[in-house]
Structure 1
Amino acid sequence: MVTDIKSGNLPNFSDKLANDDGRIRLEPYECIHEKLSKGFFQKYFKKDPTTVRQEQIKKRQEQTSPLQSSPRKTEIKYRKPMRIAFNFDNIYEDPHACYEYGQKIILIESDELHVPSSRCTYNKSCEYTCKTSDLITTEVQLFFTNYITPTLREIVASYILVDPEEPNLILDAGSYNKTNGTCLTHVIIPEYYITHGIDQADLVIFVTIRPPTEKNIVAHSVPCNFRDYGTHYSRPLAASINFNPSFFTQFIYDPHDLTYEEYIKVSLHELTHSLGFSSMFLSSFINEDGHPYDASIEVQRSGVTPNGEPYNYYKRAINSPNVKKVIRNHFDCKSLEYAELEDSGGYLDWESHWEKRVVGEEFMVAWASPIMPVTRLTLALLKDTGWYDIDLTKAEKWVFGKNLGCDMLKQCYNNTWNYQGYFCSRGGQPGCTCTRMGKGVCRLAVLNNLEPQYQHFVNTSLGGTDGVFDFCPTYLTSYPARGNSRYCIDNSLYSNLDAQYHELYSMNSRCFEFVSPNNSVGQACWEMK
């Protein structure tokens, strides 16, 4: 149980919020990639990530002849921008999508893959009544075919170069047969994708627009076709992506504002899982010599709580060459050997997201926010797959923890996070967030049974409200704005400007503290020049 220190009420962190303009905001976003990926592989391949890793490594060790390598060095000069082909067959006729108000459909992720959800239980069909926001109209179809997917295609092509599939992208027959010719739940792969292939494509994505089994899911994507070499998998050749219509239909006639940009980043987040940032593919990365290797390791984390209790625990991390180089340079910590992976959500988040306590605002953490930069860290991981060439100079700015050294990576204590906006100890106190992207509030809570690694005060029951952030006590910003907690980049708040202090909300605005005439400390959003 979590009790909000300031209000004394139990905070609800699971509902979509509607702002004054009626638009649905996301708080929080739930990524179910690991859940669906695990279910998909267990159903069709009878394996989970741990089994895959163990089997592949064992086969490499048992081989007496040289490992089959990928022609990385010889063909790298021919790499070209990745071409994604989107298959839209299922948005026009899908028994699990909504076309009429009040229509009854079956939500199938849980039933098909035998994983639980908030709406469905094991092995039970989940009937759902379609709402207006779920409907796939002609306008919705055009919105996805003409706006959403072309945007994703353009973003991926701008970052990623790949060995082109020539003359056509031909999907793997072995994967096709194992999955009974499907790509996730009731999505049929055309047989000619196996025989003739897809022209001018390096990856095919099957698009669905279905209400998901979890209400806070904006989108989800899972790879479904790849080559199995025994010792490793190839890069994904095909994947599914499902968009939750209720989050996107509100933007059909006005595809702008901070929320829309956030949902595009969430969609890119899901697509990145299907490019290789997924637990099922981490042991199939290709090194400089063209041989497969495991990019993840198990690490032991240890420390002492503020109350003097020692602790040890284990988790997964990435120690591939470029990831290690990027994270060392970012934090100015030359002894750093890995980038931690998320472990707060059990198998839901394990190995498919960065640890939020370490990277903060980044588009591949297991928590969405309006600030989701595509950083050098994730681009470095994609480069380390060996499947892609990545231009790291195109990365977006990564501010969290920049040049703050090794100590801040140990744990979030008042002596290791003793920097502006990072650590807070007074619940309800306003302050600028650590990246200065918004005006925040120190959110503390009474939490029962906190594990030692999540204890950040002498009071072992006191912590922050963000579990994905390892309950680190920090200044959090609300979106949509609540009270004075808001993002400085949200230019829709122009009517809330404090003219007395010459505030401005814009993409170049940041939060700064000031001392008012009555000697109190305030916060204002000012534009950076």
Structure 2
Amino acid sequence: DHHLNPCYVCNSTGHNCRALPRMRPRIPDDVSPTEITGNGLSETEPPVLEEEMEEPIGVEDTDFVLYVSAVETERCRRGLTVAYASHCQQESALDRPVAGHANFCPGELSTKYRDLPSVLSTVKHEMLHALGFSVSLFAFYRDDNGEPLTERRPDTGNPPLDEELQIHKWSSRVVKNITRKNWMIRGGFMERTFHMIVTPRVVKEVRNHFNCSTLEGAELEDQGGDGTALTHWEKRVFENEAMTGTHTQNSVFSRISFAMM
């Protein structure tokens, strides 16, 4: 993990942050090589940790590092989760994700040849989440000139934090609430509010796709709980688009998803 930035701890308000020192086993001078196993000492003498303040060296000639695992985690056991992913580090200049992690749930993965296209689509889907298609990154989106679409706090340089959801709040230049006054349902009409991505490139592509010059943006999923709602396209609207929250058939990545990135 020496190519990663150190972990930081902050107080309860997100201030006074400091880097945690890296810890490594210290091998006493009187210990022979035969007493050392793996990365530490033998079980008869637990390793002593000492601080290591080396600067991370990074990964040369690399734009993005993706860590992949296949572990049956607690999250895998919730519902029918096949995989999940997220970014785990951003670069400081433009907030671009530079490292991410994806976990694939072994119990839900099929090894049958006929299911290979579905598995490959899932892999691509999770990669896009790690690269930026994520509710936790909406507040960090920027315009074509590299300027933030959401205002930053002067003390931290980050967007404001939603204490309840524990994610950074985005502005209405990224996600906007759109209300339909006469939403048709069986037996009449109702008022309904949607969350829509309204960044300029997404608006352009979604209007072209649906041939509607007044469409406000691309609708986000409003069901499914954490990990699905707000971080995928609305299934009712986009159906087999690969960045919807559930897989049905013949997944495709549209220009709308690429415009999101």
- Normalised by the length of structure 1, the TM-score is 0.34
- 1:312 and 1:377 map into 2 onto residues whose CA distance is 26
Indicate whether 1:241 and 2:121 are aligned.
no
Aligned to 1:226: 90
**How many angstroms does 1:192 deviate by?**
10
1:266 match: secondary structure: helix
1:127-526 matches, cutoff 5 A? 171-173=4-6, 176-178=7-9, 195-213=56-74, 214-215=76-77, 216-227=80-91, 234-248=95-109, 250=111, 256-257=113-114, 259-293=115-149, 294-303=173-182, 304-308=184-188, 310-382=189-261
- Normalized per residue, the structure richer in strand is 2
Contact 1:171 1:194 survives alignment (8 Å) = no
Aligned to 1:449: none
Aligned to 1:419: none
**How many angstroms does 1:193 deviate by?**
10
- 1:177 and 1:236 map into 2 onto residues whose CA distance is 17
- 1:367 and 1:220 map into 2 onto residues whose CA distance is 12
- Normalized per residue, the structure richer in helix is 1
Relative contact order (alpha carbons < 8 A, sep ≥ 6): 1 or 2 greater?
Answer: 1
Aligned to 1:124: none
**How many angstroms does 1:237 deviate by?**
1.5
Q: Measured at CA, do residues 226 and 305 of structure 1 come closer, stay the same or move farther in structure 2, by a change above 3 Å?
A: same
Identity of aligned residues (%): 28
Contact 1:172 1:226 survives alignment (8 Å) = no
Unaligned runs of 5+ in 2: 10-18, 23-51, 150-172
The alignment covers a number of residue pairs equal to: 196
**How many angstroms does 1:180 deviate by?**
6.3
**How many angstroms does 1:212 deviate by?**
2.8
Deviations 1:164-196 (A, max 9, x none): xxxxx96444xx3249699xxxxxxxx999521
Contact 1:317 1:338 survives alignment (8 Å) = yes
- 1:314 and 1:239 map into 2 onto residues whose CA distance is 32
Deviations 1:294-347 (A, max 9, x none): 421122133243412x32232311011111111111111111111100002244
The amino acid that maps onto 1:268 is: K
Unaligned runs of 5+ in 1: 1-86, 88-168, 183-190, 383-529
- Normalised by the length of structure 2, the TM-score is 0.66
- 2:231 and 2:4 map into 1 onto residues whose CA distance is 24
> What is the RMSD computed on CA atoms of the aligned residues?
2.9
Q: Measured at CA, do residues 181 and 378 of structure 1 come closer, stay the same or move farther in structure 2, by a change above 3 Å?
A: farther
- 1:364 and 1:241 map into 2 onto residues whose CA distance is 15
Deviations 1:321-375 (A, max 9, x none): 1111111111111111111000022444222100111111110001112311011
Contact 1:223 1:238 survives alignment (8 Å) = yes
- 1:346 and 1:318 map into 2 onto residues whose CA distance is 18
